[in-house]
Amino acid sequence: MKITQFALPTVALGIAAVLVCPKDSVAFSTIGGSLSLNQRDVRVFNNFTDTAANNNTTADANWPGYTGAPMSIWKGCGEWASELHGGTGAGDPLQTVGSGGANFDITWQGLAAGVGGTNDNIHSELSGSSGGVLAFTETPISDGWRIRYYSSWTWQDGPGSVSGGIDLQGVACHEFGHALGLGHSTDGAATMFPSISGTGTGQRSIAADDIAGVQFIYGVKSGSKPRITAVNNSNPLTITGTGFSATNNEVWFTNGSTSPTSGDPRVIVTGVSSTGGTSITVNVPATSGKGDVLVKNSAGSAGANLSNAFPVDPTAPPACIPPTVYCTGKVNSQFCSPAIGSTGTPTYAGTTSFNITGTQFLNNKNGLLFYGLLPNGASFQGGHLCVKLPVVRTSVQTSGGSPSGADCTGTYSYDFEALIVGGTDPNLIPGQMVYTQYWARDPADFTGFNTSLSEGLSFEICP
Ligand SMILES: [Zn+2]
């Protein structure tokens, strides 16, 4: 049996006292400090030189988008999560992943472009050796961490049992324990025990003493902690769970590209509302990719405000500029400001629907949508003309709404996709920007023009 030393964190432990929990029944220690929410990103610079470190090419739906060393390290760090990854912890033949039960979750951010600095939260190989040391974690953790694996060992990416080398996932799990604030444990069963026997696959799964350690630092998982139980893997993405705030949630996605070594790699959508605290619908950002999604509620910035990480493999966002509202609507005689919006995506191939809506218009009045190929903002009929001439008028519609009286219940909807796929307008081809606005009747218009005007809506025709 070969006994191999893990490394201590290279900084501080030789100087700072290691705090041992006073209870006799626990054996973990801490190095001082904890990771704030913006230091819980995990990335890999995949410079591992052993073929065995990247010979697992089998994709797993619970760890989407990554194989080899990155997937192995992702699982190793994810073991410390608040609950089973993806609901089942599936994806590793030797264990279920996600056993921490604390107010602590990582956010997987994919690949980095280099080894980064000592606080850039990146795993990578380091050329050379250091006696029996396998790997080490650079601290202090207050502003981040870095984990290095010596190239002198033969690193194995698993995913099952390994032979003839060292288990990357097990060592990643141990080293990330340091990154989150744990020192070594005297419990021989713990992942944080300072040495391993055999290949180290036993370190993949954290033990009761490790769980006590992460819960000591971050607290036992709060009952109000947001929780993701399902995602629908489409775009827009629907996230189902509990504990979301009514408004101003943040949705964190995995960065879809190899990110620069410095700076925050996270892709975050802010200001997201939920329905009943249990359902969120959000457009998938173009810069995100396969990986995990998390929700941070608006109640604070502690670990108890960030959900578990849930695997997501969203439909690729369209490679075109999404519909955007611009220009100012004209206040009508009922003191409403007519708005414009849309549902769906304008595609040349006709793979989706795309409807442009007008709301807050007077009820039971004629109106129409017009469009052109250039934006405008000139004064027009007491409001603004949001589209530059020449414009194309679509067919006249009636706004409907309340059967009598005058209010702002009038709405319009136009199936713009039919114009694109039908070839009705040969200008509407992929890559073309289009600018649209609703115009309607308003007999009591304060400005005397008998008209009502919405905001403008711009969008690009997708392939
Ligand atoms: Zn160690």
Give all domains of the chain, ordered by start, each with its CATH number: 3-218 (3.40.390.10), 227-312 (2.60.40.10), 324-460 (2.60.40)
Beta bridge partner(s), residue 423: none
pTM beyond cutoff 0.95: no
378 Cα: distance to centroid of ligand 1 (angstroms)? 66
**For residue 22, what pLDDT band results from cuts at 50, 70 and 90?**
very low
Beta carbons of 441 and 367 less than 8 angstroms apart = yes
Distance of CA 20 from the midpoint of ligand 1 (Å): 15
Amino acid at 203: Q
For 227, the 3-state DSSP assignment is strand
List of residues 6+ apart from 109 with CB closer than 8 A: 41, 42, 43, 254, 255, 259, 265, 266, 291
Residue-wise pLDDT for 255-298, tens only, equals 999 999 999 999 999 999 999 999 999 999 988 999 999 999 99
pLDDT at 1 over 60: no
Work out the average pLDDT over 51-79: 97
The answer for residues whose C-beta is within 8 angstroms of residue 244's C-beta and 6 or more apart is: 226, 274, 277, 278, 279, 280, 295, 297
Residue 20 has pLDDT above 90, yes or no: no
Q: What residue has token string 């995913």?
A: 159
User: With bands split at pLDDT 50, 70 and 90, how would you rate the model's confidence at 350?
Assistant: confident
Q: Does the pLDDT at position 221 exceed 50? A: yes
* Ligand 1 center to 191 CA (angstroms): 9
Instruction: Dump pLDDT digits (tens) for 71-123.
Output: 999 999 999 999 999 999 999 999 999 999 999 999 999 999 999 999 999 99
Tokens in use for 38? Answer: 């913006």
CA distance 338 to 451: 11
Mean pLDDT score, 61-78: 97
The CA 302 to ligand 1 mean position distance, Å, reads: 26
Assign 7 a pLDDT band (cuts: 50, 70, 90).
low
Confidence band of 240 (pLDDT split at 50, 70, 90): very high
Which of 426, 43, 427 has its CA nearest to residue 262?
43
pLDDT for 17 beyond 90: no
Provide the β-strand partners of residue 397. Answer: 367
183 CA to middle of ligand 1, Å? Answer: 7
Beta-strand relationship, 155-156 and 195-197: unpaired
pLDDT at residue 419 in the model: 92
Distance between Cα 184 and ligand 1 center (Å): 6
Centre of ligand 1 to C-alpha 100, Å, is 18
Residue in this structure with the two tokens 């999404």, named with its chain if needed = 322
- Cα dihedral across residues 404, 406, 409, 415: positive or negative: positive
Instruction: Tell me the pLDDT of the chain averaged across its residues.
Output: 92
- Compute the distance from residue 82 Cα to the ligand 1 centre, in Å: 22
Nearest to 44 by CA among 74, 7, 64: 74
Residue indicated by tokens 């990110």: 259
Ligand 1 centroid, distance to 18 Cα (angstroms): 13
Of 172, 84, 170, 194, whose CA–CA distance to 125 is shortest?
Answer: 172
Residue range 127-160, pLDDT digits in tens:
999 999 999 999 999 999 999 999 999 999 999 9
Ligand 1 centroid to residue 178 C-alpha, Å = 7
